[in-house]
Amino acid sequence: MMRRLAVAVCAVLLTVSTAGSGDAEDFSVAMSAVAPDASLSSATTLATVAVLALRNARVPAHAVATPAACVAPPPLRHEACVGAALSALSSGRAHAALVAVRAAAVPAAPRLRDAGLEELGDAAPPWRRACLVNRPPARSLLDFADERIAALYSLPDDIHGFASYCQNCTFSPKWCNNENVTCATLLTSDESEKDVLAAVVRKHRLLTRVVPLGSRLVDLVGAMTDRALLVCDRAPELSPLARLQATPLGPPPCLGTDECPFEPQRLIKIANVRALARYPSALRTLIRLSFRAEELADLTTQARKNGPEEAARTFIAAHPSVASLGEVRVAVLLPASTDREAYEAHSFESAALLVEREIEAERASRAAHFKVEVFDDGCSAPRAYKYLTDALGTGEYGALSAVAGPACGAAFADVARQSPAHAMPVLAYSPQAPPPPTATGLALLAAGDARLHTELWASLMSQMHWHRLAVLSETATRAALDVVRLRDYEVAHSELPDDGSGVHEELISQWAKRTAEANSRIVYACLEDAREVRAALCAGHGAGLTPGAGAVWLLPAALPAGWLRAAPGERLACSAAQLAAVAEGHLRAKPAWEAEWSPQARDAWATRCAGCVPRAALLYDTLKLWAAALGRLLKANPAAIDDLHRPEHVRTLIDDATSTEFIGLTGLFNWTLSDGVHARTTPLVLQQWRNGSYETVGRWERGALNLVPGALRWFTSDGRVPDDGGERCGLRPLADLLRTDCRTAFIVLAALLLSALVGALAALALYCRRRADREYRAHLEALRLRTYGLKPGGLDRWEVPRERVVINRKLGTGAFGTVYGGHALFAEDRGWTAVAVKTLKAGATTEEKLDFLSEAEAMKRFDHKNVVRLLGVVTKTEPVCTVMEFMLYGDLKNYLLARRHLAAAEVGLNGISTDEAAEEVSPRRLTAMALDAARALSYLAQLRYVHRDVAARNCLVSAHRVVKLADFGMTRLVFENDYYRFSRKGMLPVRWMAPESLALGVFSPASDVWSFGVLLYEIVTFGSLPFQGLSNSEVLARVKAGHTLELPTGLKPQLEGLIKSCWRQDYKTRPAASEVAAFLADSPRLLAPCLDVPLDSMPLDADPPWRTARDRAEARWVSWAAPASAATDTTYLSDAPPGEGDAFLPEPATP
């Protein structure tokens, strides 16, 4: 039975892990039954009994109808009935059922598993129908086909009045109605049995009448033992009929697959474990549910007499064990089998078992059985964690509500770290540090936060003006030392390994020597093992760290009683007297409840828990607190016992335990939430060891240490407060203020002075930057940017509300920021217009903002079909945007590059396109594009503007293949001299610039014509890079020396002459843009593809291939915030701020 329970519960737990945490509050177990007698009333009674048992176990349940195939008049077809019952279970119409089956035809386990079902055992002892006679000669039921034998077992109707029990219910076959035939009288229990036996009589033509006597069967048979009797009933050997001196008759043979009434049968329990995943207690209740044979017979009789509901209630009232309480457990992990001398495991075990006994004695108020399971972890983290994993495999996990312990720090830390994986609360009954943040919500530090002891020592050192501390710790206490204030004092710290090799005397001795060499006199032994504490004291004696030499020892408070005495067989490096001398005057911090326990309380606890030390009372209180929280949870939500590890239930338990007032043997439990973990807060009492006993010298509470005046005694030669062994220096006041040594104080002072110097330099740099901004604004005015009307409100009439601009894609990155595609609504009657939106990058400088707005100021003056139009601006909210007309095909360079293959494949010898696809790269199309750019430059020249950056990348192509000039970030007005002198240091597109621009920084419409000649080169070569293969410095030197681009072969003479005229060294002799436009208009097929120039390659990294590190070093012309065209092939002379030794251009000669 227990094995079946464990297997079923494990199956449910596995199902729960995958079933999710859906709401199970509306779920109700549907219970069905198939009765052994195949009657509907008996089946309903059995189902109702099971439902009442489940409800008493606080599981919602209801009865459902028995499958129709199982309540038909006999004889029933067994396979059909069982199949119908299993179908109802697997389909969810029923969740559990009691099913009467033939013993030889029980559904196989694989068949059940395939349907998600599980057999939970028998609900009653196996039974079979049998017939008995108390006198010979009958040996088989078939003998009653012989009239001579049948006549011997005939009973008159008037004997004992048995016929009056059931009038008109006696079955008599027609051949017994013959007056010349004497038939035997077959006595049975109830009408369902009568129906089954009647079928047997008819089948074998037996000379037998069947008389049902109900509950009077046993009494009447007992009163008529003086006569020959024939009695048939189900399981007579398990009923009072077994007391009769009777002989069983051989049953009729069962042939083929016919139903056999006398075949052994079982009443089995089958459950849909998937459906019952949220209610393991339902399975436990069903497994415990069982009937004796006489109880089953009595239930049948009572159901016919009083109805199924009443019969079931009567049975449950008479058998309360069917609805017994569930069980919850707490595992207490104790360090029993360990060499470490830490904690009194036997005392803790006695206290834990005392809690179990006391709670089990409170029968009236219990919501479940409370069990304590003690496990010896041996202070080993692997053993402690193995217990949890083993609990998962044995089926105990579901009832395990929490783990108390382990007591040792290292084991507790590992178990607490793994607790979220098991949703397992961890109760600390010894001082422990909080676990990692992922596990803090499941830990209850009932003994307080171990770091508070370290805080106390930090407060003591502050009050004593001690700033140097030597620490000896172990892995188990590492987390308790995680206090910043104390770490600042450490000058010598050693951590002993947790390798299970016993006391590390050599390591401890080395630590003591280093402590003495560092002249550290305040010594903190943060250890759990009393053996290592004794070894540390002996090592301290050998190193001269004695109270007489000014050493002050800080020791743990959880050491067991008599810890100063060496254990049997222990060899110390000092004598007992020397050990006592070193320990004299040491300090410890003890919980106030333990330090201030009255003698009466100690005696009462010792009487209540024989052999228990006071610290065991804390475990007692912790378990009592947790048991009370469990009781309140189960009374409020009985179904919680099925899933104690559900996150809501775990949170409820922890919240209840920490918020409900609880006063135990150790006093009132007050909780605080620090770093996400609940820890009990209790004052700490500072005690000093003097003459074999502890004296209270201070109290630490709410973060403050209050020393008892005059209570501390020092064992130095002069009786004064010992110092910490630190050096004395002129910066000692600062060192004391910072709680550090002189060297660190000097470093801090130097750092402060350095910070002040850096701050002063930063302020100076800020001042210089603002001064430079003011000078730059003045410089802009000198460049006559005021002509643009660039002043507050100058762009107001172009302002577009931000909500009327919708951005839906990114087109690229420009000089000032990102360019997006989208739509804008400029007027309600015009609808949404496709636009390009250029945004100013975040964190732009004042200079960049001015340049960005100056471009908008320039564009608002332009109105030409070959110039990209400004449609609006967004300047009142960040980020600042300009809204321009959308150009479908993007820039001309990429347009040409994308169609280069068409030009190479589809242009004939005469320069005329051979198909429609090549029309886009035909001479007519190329000439029209060049003409559009020339007209744009002519228009700008008329308005006295110079573009300064005419290139294919700055020409955009519209949906109708019209080329429009764009990117006016470098555009400037020219005035009376018809040129613009660029006096700033800046990054410029040298491959497109005229010689005078490179040499003198002079820009004019003629310099734009030079750039237009380079543009013509880009068009006919379909996007080839000018001066390909040359570095920036080489291009600069070449152009300044009077050289130009090498033209490709195959150019028409007229085009070659036009380009060369654009590249004349004397800018005054170059044609005007209007003249170039007229020339192109007169030659509509002038430009033809020339593809013998190799195409440059786009690199995968950030730098172009023609820009090497050497090139960048040689051509380092510097700029601050010059308007660059980012994300293009423009090669600028620098990408860094100006330096002291940088030069830009020679100043022009003074005329």
Amino acid identity, position 111: R
Given a contact cutoff of 8 angstroms between Cβ atoms, the answer to whether 343 and 563 are in contact is no
Name the nearest CA neighbour of 744 among 757, 726, 759: 726
**Residue given tokens 């598993």 in the structure block:** 113
Q: Is 269 helix (H, G, I), strand (E, B) or coil?
A: strand
Helix (H) or strand (E) holding 604: helix 599-608
CA distances from 511 to 230, 478, 488, 508, 638 (A): 97, 17, 19, 5, 57
Q: Which of 949, 967, 1111, 1129 is catalytic?
A: 949
Given a contact cutoff of 8 angstroms between Cβ atoms, the answer to whether 933 and 866 are in contact is yes
Q: What is the per-residue DSSP string for 1042-1091?
A: T--PPPPTT--HHHHHHHHHHT-SSGGGSPPHHHHHHHHHH-TT------
Query: What single-letter DSSP state applies at residue 290?
Result: -
Strands 818-825 and 832-839: antiparallel
Sheet holding 704-707, edge to edge: 490-496, 469-474, 522-526, 552-554, 587-591, 684-690, 693-701, 704-707
Q: Is 388 helix (H, G, I), strand (E, B) or coil?
A: helix
Sheet holding 208-212, edge to edge: 208-212, 184-188, 230-234, 129-133, 247-248
Stated length of the chain: 1151
Q: Tell me whether residue 838 is annotated as binding.
A: yes
Report the half-sphere exposure of 283 (CA within 13 A, side-chain side).
30
CA distances from 569 to 336, 505, 531 (A): 19, 15, 12
Output the CA angle 749-752-757, nearest 5 degrees.
130
Indicate if 1129 belongs to the active site: no
Q: Please report the sign of the dihedral spanned by the C-alpha atoms of residue 509, residue 514, residue 516, residue 517.
A: positive
Q: Is 859 exposed, middle or buried (0-12, 13-18, 19+ CB in 10 A)?
A: buried
Q: Is 451 exposed, middle or buried (0-12, 13-18, 19+ CB in 10 A)?
A: buried
Listed in sequence order, the residues at least 6 apart from 10 whose beta carbon sits closer than 8 Å to its beta carbon are 393, 395
Given a contact cutoff of 8 angstroms between Cβ atoms, the answer to whether 135 and 228 are in contact is yes
Q: Where are the beta strands (DSSP E) in 647-718?
A: 663-664, 667-668, 671-674, 677-680, 684-690, 693-701, 704-707
Measured CA to CA, the distance from residue 1039 to residue 995 in angstroms comes to 6
Structure tokens at 835: 């636009």
List the binding residues: 838
List the binding residues for ATP: 838
Instruction: Just list the catalytic residues.
Output: 949
